[in-house]
Amino acid sequence: MKQHIKSAAIKTPRGVVAKKPPAHHVDVAKKARQIVGTGKGERGFVTAPDGKFIGRQTAKRVAKKAGQATVKGKRGLHSEDLYGSR
């Protein structure tokens, strides 16, 4: 199976990865606050089929290769690129 983006995720300072597919990072932050008490941390994505956490720049390359999103410029992938604006 080809690698692709499964969901937006946040890796908290304690190393806990919170995810909530399909959801925007703001929704994932709410879930992280419920789980570990903070929604702060590195915003990124979880891939499928391996379930690996990756940062925005790597996610941009994965999503582009999988045909999920096109992101122009230097910025990394944002949840809005996959799920539309809120």
Cβ partners under 8 Å of residue 61, min gap 6: none
Domain membership flag for residue 83:
no
Domain membership flag for residue 42:
yes
Report the distance separating Cα 24 and Cα 8, nearest Å.
6
Domain limits at 33? 4-69
Domain membership flag for residue 81:
no
Q: Where are the beta strands (DSSP E) in 1-86?
A: 4-11, 17-19, 42-48, 53-55
Domain membership flag for residue 57:
yes
Tell me: the pLDDT tens digits for 34-77?
A: 989 999 999 999 999 999 999 999 999 999 999 999 898 999 99
Domain membership flag for residue 64:
yes
Domain membership flag for residue 16:
yes
pTM comes to: 0.92
| N residues, the chain | 86
Report the domain count for the chain. 1
Domain membership flag for residue 79:
no
Cβ partners under 8 Å of residue 85, min gap 6: none
DSSP 22: S
